[in-house]
Amino acid sequence: MQRILGYLRKAVQEFDLIQKGDRIAVGVSGGKDSVVLLTGLCRLRRFLGVSFDVVAITLDPGFGGVETDYSPIAALCEELGVPYIVKRTQIGEVVFDVRKEANPCSLCAKMRRGALHDAALEAGCNKVALGHHYNDAVETFVMNLFNEGRLGCFSPKSYLSIKKLWLIRPMVFAPEKEIRRAAEKCNLPIVKSKCPADGHTNRETTKEFLRQREREDSGFTYRLFGAMRRAGIDGWGYPDRPVRKKKPDAIQDFVIEAATAADLPAVAPLAAELYSGSADSLQAEFAGLLARPDAALFAAKQQEQIIGFAQCQLRHDYVEGCSTSPVGYLEGVYVSPAFRQAGVGRSLECACEDWAKKLGCTEFASDCALKNTESRHFHDHLGFAEMEQICCFMKPLKESTED
């Protein structure tokens, strides 16, 4: 559950999902996603620093005309100390028996959303939290693209002007496998859906498509999610920076080279922007670094002008739990502001990775400005995973492949 809390806090902070005094209705279907969301929000209240109330609401669709037993969810809510409301409906009968919908998911979802919003208002709530996660977001993006021919996805946060309710999705950064693991580890009660269409939907087909693509091309899902964020689709952009329309015109034909002693007078002033210390002292430090076999310094050049640098070294026993081989460690990377957002930083980081792989490293770590939002975006873009418990970013190094 610790990882889930990290994902929840990240979403709440990035998208400003929760404010002091909020009363949040959590839609609890009984599945793993909604149960983990409910448990996570209740635990998040302990350390988020913002006081808010949680109400659990379940809508029983009444599939097959039979009421579902939600007593395990009621017991969980009592343990968590949150009010629990169960609304019995006839949605299942309307969708499957009266309307006999060939594609029932759309109508069922609309009716359930309407009923949930009404129940939330009756309970005095100003926000409704849903359990959509990271994989749901990518699947929705793919379905909209291939089925409807448009770029779109649900938003992390949206305002329903008619109902005067905010709709929030605090688990949008949480991968489904982490949610499943948390539910199993915490032994949370799961009430299986009785929907006749369960497991036979377009979303399930999309899940299988993405699983297959992931098997053939590792990181496929991650890159789709990153594309959504960088494009700022439907509120998914980074809140603290504008959507980049195009790369700066000035970035052309830059090269990455191992720095030499002749480069140090130009590298040192850039380093002074990143590190504390004078350019003279840093130049002397870098001169010693060039002589070390376990460290490297790379420079980004455009027409002989140095526009950025990266410093890396080998670290042994960097963090507990890493492999026994040395860990490649990104000490620092800096690109002059006029030359950013055009792949220079990524190219510098890749040069450091290649250097580490040649020395036998299987993992690559960095804790560069861990609390800096821009740094977090940079590392996220490069495929690092943030290891909050040890305050660093970490990624495995893949073996190089020949064309």
Residue found by looking up tokens 């559950």 in the block: 1
What is the spatial distance between Cα 13 and Cα 44, in angstroms, rounded to a whole number?
12
pLDDT value at 41 more than 70: yes
Specify the pLDDT at position 235. Answer: 87
Specify the pLDDT at position 330. Answer: 84
101/143: higher pLDDT: 143
Cα Rg of the chain, angstroms: 25
Q: What region does 232 belong to: left with phi over 0, alpha with psi -120 to 50, or beta?
A: left
Question: In terms of DSSP H, where are the helices of 45-123?
Answer: 71-80, 91-92, 105-122
Q: Fold for domain 2-235?
A: Rossmann fold (3.40.50)
Host H or E run for residue 297: strand 295-302
Specify the pLDDT at position 153. Answer: 93
What is the spatial distance between Cα 126 and Cα 57, in angstroms, rounded to a whole number?
14
Question: Would the pTM of this model clear 0.75, i.e. be above it?
Answer: no
Q: What is the mean pLDDT of residues 333-361?
A: 86
304/153: higher pLDDT: 153
pLDDT value at 371 more than 50: no
From 266, 269, 315, 313, select the one nearest 291 (Cα to Cα): 313
Mean residue pLDDT of the chain comes to: 84
pLDDT value at 394 more than 80: no
Q: What is the mean pLDDT of residues 29-39?
A: 95
Residue ranges per domain, the chain? 2-235, 255-396
Q: Fold for domain 255-396?
A: Aminopeptidase (3.40.630)
Instruction: Give 162's contacts (C-beta < 8 A, 6+ positions apart).
Output: none
pLDDT tens track for 132-183 = 999 999 999 999 999 889 999 999 999 988 889 999 999 999 999 999 999 9
Specify the pLDDT at position 379. Answer: 55
Specify the pLDDT at position 403. Answer: 36
